[in-house]
Structures are given as structure tokens and as C-alpha cells.
Structure 1
Amino acid sequence: MEPVEVSGAGLTPLEAVALAQRRTVVRLSDDARKRMSESAAAVIEVARRRPVYGRTTGVGANRDVLTTDPEHGARLLGSHSTTGTTSYPKDVVRLGLLIRVNQLASGGSGLDPDVADAIVALLNDGELPDLHRGGAIGTGDLGPLAELGLALGEVIDGTSALPLLSSNAITLAECCLAYVEASTLINVVPLVGALSHVALRGNAEVYDVRVHEARPQPGQVRVARRMRGLLDGLPIPPARIQDPFGLRAFAQVLGPAVDHVDALGNSLRIDINASAENPLVAEDTVLHNGNWHAMPIALALDSLRLSLHSVATLSTSRVANLVDPEYTGLSRFLASGAEASSGVMMIEYVAHDALAAVRSAAQPATLGTATLSRGAEHHASFAPQAAVLSAQLLDALREVLASELVTAVRAIRLAGLTPEDLAPAAVGPWLADAFTALPPDLTDRSLREDLEIARGLMTQWGDRQVEHPAESG
């Protein structure tokens, strides 16, 4: 297979994650090589006429200290490789290196293409350096990128250390992984919600196109369209004139999460293709700037987490409805068998435990502040922290949704409904999947395995196209 060219343009977060996970062989494109060579030559000429930050000066509060020491770069890498003790996962490192090469390929760093080639060699050979967390607060991944510089060896000289560090590439890798996971999970929420709608005999007029034309919030409109696609033709009459919020406000609550994950994807697409270098080599000059500041990414992550917290809250409200005979017409806690059986009573506890984790991880990372390097740096985005919180939240949200899925499927079983009973509604094949995967035993027992199966089933659903294969047949 021919190597995929890295050109510094057009890379999407999903493509970047796929290339890294598949360990695809890559190469620097010829155009990118030309751009890098030209910018490397340009910055040498500029440095002869004026100070260039990090190349002929110190960094941080030492920005006004000039240096001609040929060992300046080596000392910079040595000192800045101070990190915490926890290693990044290898999939994050691999993706981060790919993103850094793509950024360098855009030609604004002043680094020679040999540097990009050296990083590409690490990627293609699978010889990934051990990079560590600690020290990154959304103003550049200084520590881990300094460790990368040390791993690259002699290709990094006394003037090229700082340009390598001027990036949030490792943080962007974690953000891209969170983006893909969030997008996948958001695509699954309507499937789980549709099964709860069936179990609760919901009123589908809340998804009527006229409702959403009256208030055309983009994400809400898309969710309502998806729900109509799943529920249209459902031959089950609604149990109520007006449903509880878990059903009635489904599109209005999931819609903002759809909007926010789109916004995160757009911000990531810009940054993984950007010459976010300081200084930026622009034709025959250098421009000192603040493009290393990751506030757009941090705010996008914070907004997404806050919106997903509401999605999780509404999911637990549907679980509460599902265990209540007043809403289902079934037994308390969907119990089966002897009197006073507990059924799925503990599922509700599991869901709220996970919801508490979602709530904790939803706290905005951008509320933090920092003053560093003798006041030379007095603000930070805390995007790395936002990325970590996002991964934690998404794992807990999956647990919440698994709780709802197990409960909804059990309620449908108890009601005696089959996938065929839902025809011609498109939700039927998804119910068939769930019936096949989840154990039919309704006696009191541990439901931990059911929750694990549900988590795996949602992963399978998320990996598919939005349409179920049977829907397009």
C-alpha cells in the first residue's frame, strides 16, 4: 500500500484518528517539503537581522536574553522535558506525532523538513517515544514535545528546539479521540431513546416537523428528524397526551450536544491543519503571536461536556419512568417472579452513580487561571485538562446510557412486545439486536453482565452507519 501523504491541509479529526489507529504508513508531501525548506531558509535570514524568540533568545521571562550558544537548543529540551510521571497512552502519542507532522507540513515553523521526516520515521517504524503528562496547561505541550525532541536526536539543533515545542499536538490528539467518541455516542442516544419511547408508549407528536420548524435550532432539528426516522409508523398508541420531560424534551436536550460536538470538530479541523507556531515564519519575516493558546478548543470541550451532562440527566429521568408502573403499566422495578422481587432496582443506583461522575467531569476547565514565568505568561486555557475530563465524562455517560438500554429492553420484554410488533417503524431491527444480545432472564440476579453487554452493543451500533442495515434493505 502506498504511503498516505501528509500535506498540512485537509486532514479531519476522524481521518487523523483512523490513520493513527490503523498505523498507516505516511510520508511528507513534496509540496510540504518545499514549504518547510523555504521557511527554514527564511528564518535563518531573519535571525541575522533581528532577534527571533527561542532561536536567538531565551524563552518565557527570558525572552529578552539574547544567546548565540550552540547548545541553547539542547539545554532548552533538557529543561523543558520536565514532566509528571504518568505516560501518555501509545495511541495518543501516535496520533499526536501525526498531528505535529501535519502542522509542520503547513510550513510556518521554520523547521527543516528533516525534522518532519524524523517524526515520520518514528511513526512508520512504530518506535514511539515514551511521552509523559504534566506541565501542559493549554499554552503548548512543552514537556512531552521536549521529550520528543530528545528522542529525535541530532536532527534538532541549537536553533530548532523551540519551534518543535510550539504546539498543542498531544492535547489535540486527546481532543480528537474525545471528539470521535462523543460523536459516536451521540449517534447512539436516539436509538436508546427510541427504545425507551416504545417501552413508555410515548407520544411521537413531539417530533412533528412543524414543532421543530417553529423553533429551528439546528441540532434539535437533526435529532427530531432522526427520531421520526426511527418511530414513524410505530403501531403503538401513545399512553399520554403529554409525556414527561425525558421523552417530551428529548430533541431539545440532545440537540445542543449535537451542535457542540460539531463546533468541537470544526475547531479541531482548523488546529490540526494550522501553522499555530510562535514565532510564525511568514514569507520573508517572522511574526511573534499567541496562536499557541488553545482557548477555542478548551471552550468547545467545556461546552460539549456541559451539554452532555443534560443528556445524561434526562437519561436517568427516563430510567425513573421505566421502573414506575404509572408510566409503563408494568410491575414495580420491572420485577418478575415472586412477590417483592427487586427487578432492576439497582440499575437506577448504578445510573445515578455514573451521573455523579458525569456531573463532576462536566465542570468547566476554563475557569482555571495561572500566572507563570515571572508574570510573562498570565493566562492558560487548560485544554489538556478539559480533554482528560471529557474522556472521563464520556465513559460515565456510556454507563448511564447502558443502564437506560438494559431497563428499556427489559420493559419491552415484560410488555410482551416483539420487534415484529413495531413494524413498519425502523426501531424494530434495533430492538431485535438488543433482544439477541441481552439475556432474556427476568428473575432477580446481578445485572452487571447485562450492563457490560449493553456497553458493547452501543459500541457496535456506534461503529455502524446511522441507518441500521435492515433499514436500507
Structure 2
Amino acid sequence: MTVTIEPTGVAPADVLAVARGAAKVVLAPTTVAAMTASRSIVDGIEAAGRPVYGVSTGFGALANTFVAPERRAELQHALIRSHAAGVGAAMPREVVRAMMLLRVRSLALGHSGVRPLVAEALVDLLNHDVTPWVPEHGSLGASGDLAPLAHCALVLLGEGWVLGPAGERRPAADALREAGLAPVELAAKEGLALINGTDGMLGMLLLAVHDAAHLFTMADVTAALAIEAMLGSERPFRPELHAIRPHPGQGVSAANIHRLLQDSAVMDSHRDDLAHAVQDAYSMRCAPQVAGAARDTLDFVRTVAGRELVSVVDNPVVLPDGRVESTGNFHGAPLGFAADYLAIAAAEVGAIAERRVDRLLDVTRSRDLPAFLSPDAGVNSGLMIAQYTAAGIVAENRRLAAPASVDSLPTSGMQEDHVSMGWAATKKLRTVLENLTSLLAVELLAAVRGLQLRAPLTPSPAGRAAIAALGSVAGRPGPDVFLAPLMEAARAVVSSPELRTTIEAEIGPLP
């Protein structure tokens, strides 16, 4: 696959193809033309000697410091070196690749005043799989992701570090030489244009949107399996009950769960039982209300990310009429707010899943399942400690759901006196989603054990598929085994599309 960068931007699918796949990147001829036209304006400003921020002045609190023409290239290189000041563990390869592609996208919009060769140099890094080593700490989300982007830009200069094959740190100069690439000499404004923007935040948010969409569907699957294993009712998920509260996501989740519970001998076994509970617990009955609200939150976040994909977030910007204007478009508040909102939603999807797990393991509430889903409870503890793990993860997600975007600290001599913390918001969102994967894995494992213990009753098509997916490692309920590998296997099933694809082949698409 090849992703062509047009002067209109890129699509979310393009970002995923480059970040997680092996897609190649090329600049469209129209992009080169737009960048060339923008650069000619900057060249004209330089020739005229006008003071313009980032072209002939210092940066941040040094914006009023005039820089002589013969030192402006030096200014751009010094900017990159001084701003590559991050610390901590390296960011994952996929995040850095997404960030680089989005920086190319930003330059390609033709408002940054850089030469096409600068964007082409970033494209070369992507196409030769040279990934800068970008530390996790350093960005405040305004002026964009300065430090992370500076670590990327430093590699263009033949300096800094890159990720090695095993994630180790290697000198960038060695990696460029091995790839047959030469360092870039920056001209006026180009250093600033390489680091001023929301590309790191946006990259992480786009990856999170993709992951959350899959996990929210899998949350419907694991909820339905748990409800089936607990002999719950399918009546609360009927469409007429959700049509009278028309939140779109709620309707989708309810329809998913209702379909997942059909064609089940387990459900049929108690459908007309007068002793069956009139109302199931909230964690069962209200599953679509919580998961549906998360879906609606995701739709909002997807809209925000889509707007940012077509936004010019550089500063200053070069306008077609020749003006170079300072803006605040680099401020990450829209992305920070969106990430915090989605983290709250994802945390609650995981929290309600853990409540269903607890119910499945409790002999007083699980409707005749053995304690902790062990056929020989007492000598064996079953899934008791798996629920402990889930409870600990829920507690962590609650801490991570506290918004980062309300925590601003002033910097740069009070010139940058309000920052977004959008990098922190999107980074912790990714952790919340990783944790949600683990929580759904525990629910999947517990639901599969519960359905196995309902034998000889035949579960739903989804239940049969889940038992088959985990059966090779989980086996049948019996004496205690080393649980960690089972939980890792369940995590792999939740994160992979295979179980969902198998179920959809039986009952139709699960949106």
C-alpha cells in the first residue's frame, strides 16, 4: 500500500497503515507545488529583512530578539537541539511513525513555508523504517508537541538517536548512513515548522479511536457471554425498549447483545421459569446504557480527530496573500479534552465488566455456578485471583480517568502561560485502553468457564466460538492451573479481530 500525501491532508486509515503497517509514503506533485509556493513567501520576507517570528526572531519568550540573516540557519539547528529535551522510556514505534506522518501532512498543507525537501526527508525516514527515539516525557501540548517532534527532527540533522531492531537506542548518524540517507541543512523557519504542532497528540488519539472502536464491540460480546452464563434475561435488550431512549450508541449495543443471546439452549433453559429474577442486576441489565454512552463519546472524539486532520496547526502560518501570522492553533485543548472524555468512557466500560466478573464468581449470585467457577472449590480457588487482578486494573483506570487537560503549568518565562497537557491525556488514554483489554479478557475467561459449566446445555453461537477460541489453552474447568498464560491468551483473543469475525460469520455484523 502507498499513502499519497495531498495538500488536503490524510485519512485516519492512512495514519494506521503507516503507523502499524508497511505502507510507503509519497508526496503528490500538487503538494510539492503548494510547499514551493509557501516557501517563496518566506524567501521574500528574508530578502526584505522584515522581523517575523520564527524567521528572523528568537522563539517563545525570546520572540523579540532579532537574529541576523547570517545566523538564521544556525538558529533553526539550535532550536532543534535545545528542544530535544525529553526524558524517560522510548515511545512505541507506531506512535512515532504516526507523529512523523502527521508532521508531513501538516507541512503538505502549504502554510508552513518550508522547502519540499524537508517533508521528503521525513518521508525517507518512514520509507526506510528509520524511527527516531522519542522519550515519553517532554510535551505540554502547547506549543504543540515541541520536545517529541524535536527528537524526530534531530534525526534529520544526523544527530540524536533512533530505535534499533530490539528497541535499543542507536546513533541516528549510523542509521542514516546505513539507509543511504544524508542529513538535512535547515533554512529559515524550517526548524520551527518541524516541531510546532499537535502531531504526537493526534497520532495517539487516532490510534486510540481505532482501538476503542474494536474494544467497545468486544465489550458487547463479553457482556453477552457473561449474561448468558449467569442465566440472565434477554428481555431488557429488545429494540422497543431502546427506541424510547434514542441514544444512538445505546441502541447499537443493545441490538448487539440481543442478537448475541439468540439461538442458545442456555437462554432457553430458563426463559419461562417463574422463579427467574424479574430484573437482573444493573451490571447485566444496563450494559448497553454504559457501553452505548461510550460509543457516543467515541463518535464525538472521532469527529474532533477528523477536524484536526484537516487543520493547519503550525505557528506562524504563511498565508497565500503573503502574510505570515502568529496563531494559537498549536494548542492541544481540543485533543486533550477529547482524550480525557474517552478515557472516562473506556474506564467505565471496564468497570462494569469487572462487576459482572465478580457476580459470575460469587456462589450466592451466579445462579447455581460453583464458587469461583471451580468444580472443586476449597482445595481449588478457580478464578478468585483473576477478579483481584481485574479489581486492581479498575482502580488504576479510575486514577487514569482523572483529566490531564485541567492541569496547566506556565512555561517559557510566562509567554506560554497556559498549556493543554494533551500529550499526557492521549498517552494515558492508551494505557486505559490497554487496561480495558485486560478487563475484557478476564470477563471472557470467566464467561467461557461459566458456559462450560452449564453443559450439557449448548450455548449461543458466540458462546461456542468463544469456547473454541480459548479451548486450546484453557481446557475444561477442573483443578487449578497456572492462570497467567490463560489470561494472556484471553487478552490476545480480545485484541484480535478473529473471534469477532467468527461470530459475525454466524449472526451477522456487529457494529
- TM-score by length of structure 2 reads 0.86
Q: Is the 8 A contact 2:76 2:192 kept in 1?
A: yes
Per-residue Cα deviation, 1:55-82 (whole angstroms, up to 9, x for no partner): 1111111112222233221222222222
Is the alpha carbon distance of 1:168 and 1:463 closer, same or farther for their aligned partners in structure 2, counting shifts above 3 Å?
A: farther
- Kindly report which structure 2 residues correspond to 1:75-86, keeping only aligned pairs within 5 A, or say none: 75-86=78-89
Superposed displacement of residue 174, structure 1 = 2.4
Is 1:298 paired with 2:312?
A: no
Q: Which amino acid aligns with 2:153?
A: G
Select 1:453's aligned residue among 489, 498, 506: 489
Name the residue aligned to 1:143. Answer: 147
- Kindly report which structure 2 residues correspond to 1:417-456, keeping only aligned pairs within 5 A, or say none: 417=456, 421-422=458-459, 428-436=464-472, 438-456=474-492
Q: Is the 8 A contact 1:58 1:65 kept in 2?
A: yes
Q: Is the 8 A contact 2:301 2:338 kept in 1?
A: yes
Q: Quick one: distance in 2 between partners of 1:465 and 1:60?
A: 51
Q: Is the 8 A contact 1:138 1:383 kept in 2?
A: yes
Superposed displacement of residue 101, structure 1 = 0.8
Superposed displacement of residue 220, structure 1 = 1.0
Q: Is the 8 A contact 2:201 2:332 kept in 1?
A: no
- Kindly report which structure 2 residues correspond to 1:91-130, keeping only aligned pairs within 5 A, or say none: 91-130=94-133
Which stretch shifts more, 93-102 or 229-238?
A: 229-238
Is 1:198 paired with 2:234?
A: no
Name the residue aligned to 2:316. Answer: 279
Is the alpha carbon distance of 1:262 and 1:188 closer, same or farther for their aligned partners in structure 2, counting shifts above 3 Å?
A: same
Name the residue aligned to 2:282. Answer: 245
Identity %: 29
Is 1:184 paired with 2:214?
A: yes
Structure 2 spans left out of the alignment, 5+ residues: 158-183
Select 2:191's aligned residue among 147, 153, 161: 161
Name the residue aligned to 2:407. Answer: 368
Is 1:307 paired with 2:342?
A: no
Q: Which amino acid aligns with 1:455?
A: R
Q: Quick one: distance in 2 between partners of 1:430 and 1:114?
A: 51
Name the residue aligned to 2:427. Answer: 388
Superposed displacement of residue 329, structure 1 = 1.4
Name the residue aligned to 2:34. Answer: 35
Q: Is the 8 A contact 1:93 1:131 kept in 2?
A: yes
Is 1:134 paired with 2:137?
A: yes
Q: Which amino acid aligns with 1:52?
A: V
Is 1:213 paired with 2:250?
A: no
- SS for the counterpart of 1:57 is coil
Per-residue Cα deviation, 1:374-425 (whole angstroms, up to 9, x for no partner): 211111111111122112212222222211111111111112155xx245x6
Which stretch shifts more, 150-159 or 35-44?
A: 150-159
Is the alpha carbon distance of 1:81 and 1:342 closer, same or farther for their aligned partners in structure 2, counting shifts above 3 Å?
A: closer
Superposed displacement of residue 194, structure 1 = 0.9
- SS for the counterpart of 1:115 is helix
Is the alpha carbon distance of 1:330 and 1:135 closer, same or farther for their aligned partners in structure 2, counting shifts above 3 Å?
A: closer
Q: Which amino acid aligns with 1:469?
A: A
Q: Which amino acid aligns with 2:356?
A: R
The total of aligned residue pairs comes to 469
Q: Is the 8 A contact 1:46 1:286 kept in 2?
A: no
Q: Quick one: distance in 1 between partners of 2:481 and 2:93?
A: 39
Is the alpha carbon distance of 1:330 and 1:79 closer, same or farther for their aligned partners in structure 2, counting shifts above 3 Å?
A: closer
Q: Quick one: distance in 2 between partners of 1:157 and 1:86?
A: 31
Q: Which amino acid aligns with 2:479?
A: T
Is the alpha carbon distance of 1:73 and 1:81 closer, same or farther for their aligned partners in structure 2, counting shifts above 3 Å?
A: same
Q: Which amino acid aligns with 1:192?
A: T
Name the residue aligned to 1:67. Answer: 67
Superposed displacement of residue 286, structure 1 = 2.0
Q: Quick one: distance in 2 between partners of 1:259 and 1:383?
A: 21
Q: Is the 8 A contact 1:163 1:278 kept in 2?
A: yes
Is 1:87 paired with 2:125?
A: no
Select 2:447's aligned residue among 401, 408, 412: 408
Q: Quick one: distance in 1 between partners of 2:65 and 2:367?
A: 73
- SS for the counterpart of 1:389 is helix
Superposed displacement of residue 208, structure 1 = 1.4
- SS for the counterpart of 1:66 is coil
Q: Which amino acid aligns with 1:196?
A: A
- SS for the counterpart of 1:371 is coil
Q: Is the 8 A contact 1:298 1:381 kept in 2?
A: yes
Superposed displacement of residue 466, structure 1 = 8.8
Q: Is the 8 A contact 1:195 1:431 kept in 2?
A: no
Superposed displacement of residue 324, structure 1 = 2.4
Is the alpha carbon distance of 1:433 and 1:36 closer, same or farther for their aligned partners in structure 2, counting shifts above 3 Å?
A: same
Q: Quick one: distance in 2 between partners of 1:438 and 1:204?
A: 27
Per-residue Cα deviation, 1:286-341 (whole angstroms, up to 9, x for no partner): 22111101111111110111112211221111112112233321222222136564
Is 1:353 paired with 2:392?
A: yes
Per-residue Cα deviation, 1:21-54 (whole angstroms, up to 9, x for no partner): 2222211011111111111112333453743211
Superposed displacement of residue 454, structure 1 = 0.7
Superposed displacement of residue 437, structure 1 = 5.2
RMSD: 2.3
Superposed displacement of residue 147, structure 1 = 3.0
Superposed displacement of residue 10, structure 1 = 5.5
Name the residue aligned to 2:172. Answer: none
Superposed displacement of residue 272, structure 1 = 3.2
- TM-score by length of structure 1 reads 0.92
Is the alpha carbon distance of 1:159 and 1:333 closer, same or farther for their aligned partners in structure 2, counting shifts above 3 Å?
A: closer
Superposed displacement of residue 14, structure 1 = 3.5
Q: Is the 8 A contact 1:169 1:272 kept in 2?
A: no
Q: Which amino acid aligns with 1:298?
A: G
Is the alpha carbon distance of 1:466 and 1:247 closer, same or farther for their aligned partners in structure 2, counting shifts above 3 Å?
A: farther
